[in-house]
Structure 1
């Protein structure tokens, strides 16, 4: 658990949307205040795929965490005469799809607008000649991705990934980045791509469906192209008011990006945080033509259509007095060369509020290590610092304690049956047992006790004692200063790495200087254990012998100042060293190089929508769980702070996203 941290910065909070009634939402919202008839959550319904190939089919996707009724909804094309349609279901489930055949027919070059039964605009898309053949679909994330023409058959009623091309055009990297409706009605565009984009023929339109699109260049003659990483501004000739939108169209007529805001949301301006990505929020001061300040408050507007921003969806109820969140501390910079999260940009809150309160502490926080069970990926193991172990299973999209194992978790003891292990990291060994690290005994928290404990999850009772325990405390005299803070900087994470990976990749045994030969260590089992030291970010490699002894194989540098969790991922064939906000919320993937040494390969950040907290646990589901090219990734918050009081993440410990297969 980190001890030398500072509060999360305002800039980092820009990546998270404002909580509306305990639920964070995104999508195109109404151009005017929602009518009484508008169903809850209608803002989360997005046009996701459309074809003009004869059957003129439309797919709607619900990006929210609750179902939405679409009974009585209407659509229009470029004639803007609204007509009702017959959906495949009158309700769209959370994360679900509904399709319908357009009652009017859709042309080769056309547009589609969806309205609630009360006439509120929900979403809109336009396409050029043949761009909806075989279909036009959002690629890079259902409901949020960039609009492109699919390269294979349409995927109506299912995720779009299988029908999307491997790359999108340079134009799709352009985003509406800031907008103001305070009289000047200025729009800023930002190019997040690596090459310049010509916008001389591009147009824009607001949410008044009687308006014709205006050209960007006529509004600003100098706005003819945007350099890579650059921006241009123009003043809207259509006028922009409260409860309004900007839809950006490239020259061929395809929708590129959009933003919608509520009353006063664009005064003085509404801006993306960070530039070209993340969420819109109301700014304190407009920064048109320069980098966004991200110094305002969340919730000004919602962006859509571009696939460069994600959404954080709430769940599990609101915070009660039953737990006490702990603000993040120790925020540091992100290492240079770090890459953006390679998985999906959307993240879901994945536990019930205050879910981890225990008899030894009602705070409901301090969830640290995470590990999927490789033999049963529907099980997620979690360690809580105050000597508790949880077996979690999915229920209605949330990770909850498995009541058949223990509805309240099981308390951990040291091998003598006493003490309070400061349980931080955990992993599942080749024998199916759960191995947990401890930094110290919380009953004597000024003295380090860096141990790895082996627990049999099949053991009965509410308290678990180790089958074996290995004590490495003497190897870290720098932690034994009499300070509880120093004692708290020991083994923060641990990962089991199979011998088969080490030998197949040619790892050189530091003890012999030759290729690692497991047979040289007959009591160690089928793999080695890599323990992460929070003190300096190093990995310490051990063979844990069945007679209670251990073999030390040396130290590996991760390039990080701290390590909070360690995992071995079969899918990427890498050891992953995770750091929380201390290192900018990053994950370093380690490989065996040509010389037989384990070294950093690549480092990724978290998805931008996630809060910058003490996110100490990280786990990726096995590839056997892959669906549409993705598998689950889970994070744990040591402090259940979310983005602060009033946000839907406040009081929650677990977050769920996706990682490529």
Structure 2
């Protein structure tokens, strides 16, 4: 797929490429079908999990034509739990329809609502949460906005999009720093597809979708340039374990051990088989010489995650230390009890959080040194997609970032009283930065705090104006 397509267009094109063949197959078998672009007009618009009005999922048609949803499938986070929409069900343009699913499956406090076409394979929309609705998870505005806690249940009617309940306000506010943004690289150094970022002191790591990892060093006081030592001049080519393939490297992070403990890269597919999802976290020894790096470990999470388009998978990755999680009484979704690192044996000393572009969901995993993994969290970002995740230890908060699909929105999350990550703030992008296709975001450490501000950096996948890196600030 041409990665130069703007992210919003790329998402739509990816959905079309994934659903097209399946829809055609459905037509031949007599199953009710819909064109991919039409199916994209149907959105999960409200979810109620309290049981007061029974567990319900509302759909909304944001398009301009009626859509037949006969036979479409609703599921929670268990693929064996299925609610089939009755034959003859049509959603008018601008219409709402709520489905009481409690007879088929219950919606838990940490769960998902997913909508599939009648083939049961093609994902149309999905939303996950880490606490019960209070009383309603509602999309605001209807059909197009982010999902937030709403104060009233409005099944079958326009959502009550007032103040958020239970997790802080989800109404966007101004960027918490300077609105001035400047370039932070020389002209046309990286080209397109620069994605995830991670700053480690005087080194900035960058993951590029074409299967590359960059090690960048300071260029003056405000910029970055490729390291010219140890084979890093043009970035290093990444390979899967065994030395084959080309990971679609979207995000990069380090653990508390820093670069000496390896770089961990999130990949959504193998570029040599680009039509197939391969949702993996790969570990690399970045001290090795040569112009390429072969993964020492792969945690392939594909079978544990809901299906997405091959170009709508893992985008962001970050690592949160066990010390913070236990101190904040983080709740382990796999046990329902407080997170206990000792339960998992040898691992990184923390939990890796990965963001899915196609659903906007964040998942937390303990990646064992043995190569096994355990999912310990499923978190709704409240955004249409997640392109970057960053843990900011100085403020003990998790940043989730969306690109031009969400107009460059940033969200912060912290562990609340229930032991789950919940949104604490929603920020608009700086007014001095156009709506770039930013897929990477990184924050400087506290050592760079000067006069109450510190630098942050974005990577622009489209390389607008010949620049892929930009610099701004936030308050410390």
TM class, shorter-length:
0.5 to 0.7
Q: CA RMSD in A?
A: 1.8
Partner of 2:359: helix, strand, or coil?
coil
Question: Are residue 478 (structure 1) and residue 302 (structure 2) matched?
Answer: no
Corresponding residue of 1:202:
none
Question: Are residue 659 (structure 1) and residue 462 (structure 2) matched?
Answer: no
Question: Are residue 562 (structure 1) and residue 350 (structure 2) matched?
Answer: no
Q: Which one of the candidate residues 182, 201, 214 is aligned to 1:390?
A: 214
Summarize deviations over 1:247-270 as a string: whole Å, max 9, x none.
xxxxxxxxxxxxxxxxxxxxxxxx
Q: How does 1:118-267 map to 2 (within 5 A)?
A: none
Higher relative contact order (CA 8 A, sep 6+): 2
Summarize deviations over 1:555-591 as a string: whole Å, max 9, x none.
1111111000011001221011110111120111011
What is the alpha-carbon distance in structure 2 between the residues aligned to residue 584 and residue 467 of structure 1?
37
Corresponding residue of 1:351:
185
Question: Are residue 496 (structure 1) and residue 330 (structure 2) matched?
Answer: no
Corresponding residue of 1:342:
176
> Which protein shows a greater Rg?
1
Q: Summarize the Cα distance change of 1:602–1:614 in structure 2 as closer, same or farther, 3 Å threshold.
A: same
Q: CA deviation at 1:639?
A: 0.4
Asked whether the equivalents of residues 7 and 403 of structure 2 are also in contact (C-alpha less than 8 Å), the reply is no
What is the alpha-carbon distance in structure 2 between the residues aligned to residue 477 and residue 508 of structure 1?
22
What is the alpha-carbon distance in structure 2 between the residues aligned to residue 572 and residue 400 of structure 1?
28
Corresponding residue of 1:593:
416
What is the alpha-carbon distance in structure 2 between the residues aligned to residue 605 and residue 428 of structure 1?
27
Partner of 1:454: helix, strand, or coil?
strand
Summarize deviations over 1:293-331 as a string: whole Å, max 9, x none.
xxxxxxxxxxxxxxxxxxxxxxxxxxxxxxxxxxxxxxx
What is the alpha-carbon distance in structure 1 between the residues aligned to residue 362 and residue 145 of structure 2?
21
Corresponding residue of 1:379:
203
Corresponding residue of 2:227:
402
Q: Structure 1 length as normaliser, TM-score?
A: 0.46
Q: How does 1:249-648 map to 2 (within 5 A)?
A: 337-356=171-190, 364-373=191-200, 377-396=201-220, 397-405=222-230, 406-432=232-258, 433-476=262-305, 478-479=307-308, 486-641=309-464
Q: CA deviation at 1:333?
A: 6.5
What is the alpha-carbon distance in structure 1 between the residues aligned to residue 305 and residue 326 of structure 2?
29
Partner of 2:324: helix, strand, or coil?
helix
Specify which structure has the higher proportion of helix.
2
Asked whether the equivalents of residues 578 and 618 of structure 1 are also in contact (C-alpha less than 8 Å), the reply is yes
Partner of 1:519: helix, strand, or coil?
helix
Q: Summarize the Cα distance change of 1:416–1:3 in structure 2 as closer, same or farther, 3 Å threshold.
A: farther
What is the alpha-carbon distance in structure 2 between the residues aligned to residue 4 and residue 588 of structure 1?
19
Asked whether the equivalents of residues 567 and 577 of structure 1 are also in contact (C-alpha less than 8 Å), the reply is yes
Summarize deviations over 1:591-650 as a string: whole Å, max 9, x none.
111111111111112111112121010000111221111111000000012xxxxxxxx0
Partner of 1:5: helix, strand, or coil?
helix
Q: CA deviation at 1:475?
A: 2.5
Q: Summarize the Cα distance change of 1:442–1:350 in structure 2 as closer, same or farther, 3 Å threshold.
A: same
Identify unmatched segments of 5+ residues in structure 1: 8-331, 357-363, 480-485, 642-649
Q: Summarize the Cα distance change of 1:4–1:525 in structure 2 as closer, same or farther, 3 Å threshold.
A: closer
Asked whether the equivalents of residues 580 and 615 of structure 1 are also in contact (C-alpha less than 8 Å), the reply is yes
Summarize deviations over 1:112-155 as a string: whole Å, max 9, x none.
xxxxxxxxxxxxxxxxxxxxxxxxxxxxxxxxxxxxxxxxxxxx
Asked whether the equivalents of residues 380 and 391 of structure 1 are also in contact (C-alpha less than 8 Å), the reply is yes
Asked whether the equivalents of residues 334 and 585 of structure 1 are also in contact (C-alpha less than 8 Å), the reply is no
Q: CA deviation at 1:478?
A: 2.3
Corresponding residue of 1:482:
none
Q: Structure 2 length as normaliser, TM-score?
A: 0.63
